[in-house]
C-alpha cells in the first residue's frame, strides 16, 4: 500500500510552533475522516490551478507537467484503494499535497503558490455541491416520470379528496398524484436556482485578501465550469450560502417526500385499503404473522428529520461567525454529505416503491362517496341552475347532509320528496350532479380534477419536466 509521509504540526506550520499538537487537538482538528470525499474535486481544482500558474509564468512548465502527472497518479491510487489517508495531515488538501511532494519532490511544494486552503476548500465544496444538485435533479426527474405514468393510468379513477383528513370532495387518483409532480417540479427549480447562484469560483481568493501573484482567475473559473470568479475575496472564502441553498432545498424536498410517504402509510392500512405496496419495500412482524409493514415509506418519512436537522445545524454554526474564515466552518461538511446521501436514497426508494405499487380502484371509488362528498355539488347546482346565492345554497346543502346522516344514506339516496321537503327548489334534476363521477367530470376549470383536465395537465407536465413533446 502507498502512504503519504507523516508530518508533525511543526513541519506543517514552520518554526512558529515549538511543539506538536496535543492528541486531543489532533482528534478535534482533523477532518480527513469525512472530507476525503472531496478528493476528486480537490484534484480537479489543483489541476486547474497548476495549469493557470504555468500559463502565467508563476511556475515552470516542467513543474506543471510533474504536478499534473503526480495528481493523475494520486487519483488512481485513491480510486484503487491504495491511498492511505493520514489523520496527522488533517484534511484532504494536505494529504494530497504531501503525497504529491513525496512522489515528485520540490515541484509538489510549488503547487500551493497563490492559493490557501481557505479558497481551496470553498472551491472543492462548490464543485461537490454542484454535482450533488445534478444527482438530485436526475432522481427527481425519474420520480416525476413514475408519478406521471401512474397519474395517466389513473386519470379517471375516482377517490376521495381530503381536507383535515376528512372526506371533502371527489377527485381522481391521477389528479392527486399529479400534485406531487408539481411539488417535485418546484424542488427541481429550487435546485436549479441554487446551482446558478453557486456557480462562481472562489479559487484565487487565497486566505481572504487575494494574492500578489499575477494569477488568472477567469481561466481557473472557466476550466472548472464556473460562470465567473467570485467578486470579493473575503466573501469567497467565508460564504457558505451555497451549502445552505442546497440544504434548504433538500429539506423542502424531504418534506414533500415525507408527505407522500405518510399518505402511502395511511393508504396501505386495512382501514383505508387504497394501495398495496410491493413486498420488496415492506416488512413483516416477528410476532404477528399477518403484518405487512410499510417500512420503506416510514423510513422516508422519518429521514426527512435528518435533512431538516442538518439545515438547522449549519445555520446555527454560521450565524455568529465574523468574516472571513473560521475553523467552525469545517462543520459544514458532515451534515451536508449526510443530507445529500439521505435525500438521494429517499428519492430512489420512493420511485422504486411507487413503480411497483398497486392501487385498489374499486376501494377508492367506494370511499369517494363516503362522507357526503358531493354536498358542494348540490350547493353549486342551486347557484348555477336556480340562481340561489351561494351562502343560502350552502345552508340548503347542509340540511340535506344532516337528513342523509339521520337516514344513514348518501345524498344521492334521498328521495325526490325528501329533497323537495328540504327546499322546493331541489327538483329531480339535481341528481345529475350527485354522483361522484359526475362531480369530478364537472370540475373542468384549469387545474381541476375533471379527467379531461387531468390528462391535459399530465401532457403539459411531461413537456415541462421531462422534455417530452405534447401529443
d(Cα 314, Cα 316) in Å, to the nearest integer?
5
Report the candidate in 155, 177, 134 with the shortest Cα–Cα distance to residue 351. Answer: 177
Q: Which residues contact 276 (CB under 8 A, 6 or more apart)?
A: 268, 357, 358, 359, 360
CA dihedral 276, 282, 287, 289 (to 10 degrees): 40
- Of 164, 212, 286, 445, the active-site residue reads 164
d(Cα 352, Cα 329) in Å, to the nearest integer?
36
Cell 329531480 identifies what position? 428
Q: Which residues contact 352 (CB under 8 A, 6 or more apart)?
A: 281
Rg of the chain's alpha carbons, rounded to an integer? 31
Q: Which residues contact 467 (CB under 8 A, 6 or more apart)?
A: none
Backbone angles phi, psi at 293, to 5 degrees: -85, 135
Q: Is 16 a catalytic residue?
A: no
d(Cα 224, Cα 50) in Å, to the nearest integer?
13
Q: Is 164 a catalytic residue?
A: yes
- Of 8, 131, 285, 326, the active-site residue reads 285
Report the candidate in 47, 124, 66, 59 with the shortest Cα–Cα distance to residue 93. Answer: 124
Q: DSSP code of 445?
A: S
Query: Which positions are catalytic?
Result: 164, 285
Amino acid at each position: 500500500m502507498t502512504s503519504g509521509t507523516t508530518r508533525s504540526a511543526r513541519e506543517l506550520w514552520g518554526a512558529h510552533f515549538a511543539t506538536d499538537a496535543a492528541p486531543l487537538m489532533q482528534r478535534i482538528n482533523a477532518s480527513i475522516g469525512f472530507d476525503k470525499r472531496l478528493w476528486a474535486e480537490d484534484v480537479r481544482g489543483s489541476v486547474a490551478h497548476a495549469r493557470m500558474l504555468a500559463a502565467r509564468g508563476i511556475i515552470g512548465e516542467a513543474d506543471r507537467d510533474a504536478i499534473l502527472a503526480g495528481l493523475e497518479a494520486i487519483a488512481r491510487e485513491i480510486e484503487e484503494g491504495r491511498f492511505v489517508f493520514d489523520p496527522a495531515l488533517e484534511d484532504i488538501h494536505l494529504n494530497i499535497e504531501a503525497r504529491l511532494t513525496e512522489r515528485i519532490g520540490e515541484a509538489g511544494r510549488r503547487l500551493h503558490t497563490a492559493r490557501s486552503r481557505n479558497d481551496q476548500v470553498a472551491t472543492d465544496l462548490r464543485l461537490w455541491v454542484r454535482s450533488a444538485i445534478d444527482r438530485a435533479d436526475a432522481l427527481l426527474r425519474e420520480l416525476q416520470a413514475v408519478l406521471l405514468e401512474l397519474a395517466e393510468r389513473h386519470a379517471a379513477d375516482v377517490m376521495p379528496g381530503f381536507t383535515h383528513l376528512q372526506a371533502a370532495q371527489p377527485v381522481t387518483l391521477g389528479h392527486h398524484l399529479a400534485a406531487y409532480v408539481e411539488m417535485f417540479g418546484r424542488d427541481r427549480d429550487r435546485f436549479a436556482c441554487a446551482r446558478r447562484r453557486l456557480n462562481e469560483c472562489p479559487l484565487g481568493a487565497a486566505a481572504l485578501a487575494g494574492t500578489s501573484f499575477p494569477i488568472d482567475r477567469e481561466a481557473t473559473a472557466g476550466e472548472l465550469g464556473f460562470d465567473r470568479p467570485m467578486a470579493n475575496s473575503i466573501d469567497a472564502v467565508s460564504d457558505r450560502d451555497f451549502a445552505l441553498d442546497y440544504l434548504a432545498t433538500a429539506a423542502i424536498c424531504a418534506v414533500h417526500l415525507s408527505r407522500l410517504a405518510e399518505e402511502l402509510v395511511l393508504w396501505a392500512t386495512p382501514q383505508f385499503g387504497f394501495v398495496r405496496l410491493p413486498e420488496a419495500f415492506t416488512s413483516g412482524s416477528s410476532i404477528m404473522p399477518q403484518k405487512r409493514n410499510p417500512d420503506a415509506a416510514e423510513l422516508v418519512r422519518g429521514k426527512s428529520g435528518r435533512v431538516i436537522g442538518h439545515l438547522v445545524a449549519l445555520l446555527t454554526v454560521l450565524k455568529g461567525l465574523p468574516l472571513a474564515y473560521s475553523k467552525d466552518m469545517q462543520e459544514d461538511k458532515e451534515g451536508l454529505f449526510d443530507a445529500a446521501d439521505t435525500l438521494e436514497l429517499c428519492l430512489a426508494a420512493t420511485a422504486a416503491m411507487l413503480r411497483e405499487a398497486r392501487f385498489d380502484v374499486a376501494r377508492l371509488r367506494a370511499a369517494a362517496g363516503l362522507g357526503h362528498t358531493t354536498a358542494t355539488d348540490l350547493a353549486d347546482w342551486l347557484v348555477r341552475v336556480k340562481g340561489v346565492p351561494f351562502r343560502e345554497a350552502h345552508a340548503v346543502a347542509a340540511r340535506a347532509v344532516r337528513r342523509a346522516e339521520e337516514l344513514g344514506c348518501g345524498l344521492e339516496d334521498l328521495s325526490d320528496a325528501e329533497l323537495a321537503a328540504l327546499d322546493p327548489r331541489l327538483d329531480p334534476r339535481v341528481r345529475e350532479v350527485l354522483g361522484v363521477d359526475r362531480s369530478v367530470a364537472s370540475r373542468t376549470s384549469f387545474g381541476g380534477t375533471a379527467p379531461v383536465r387531468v390528462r391535459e395537465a399530465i401532457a403539459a407536465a411531461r413537456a415541462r419536466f421531462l422534455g417530452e413533446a405534447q401529443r
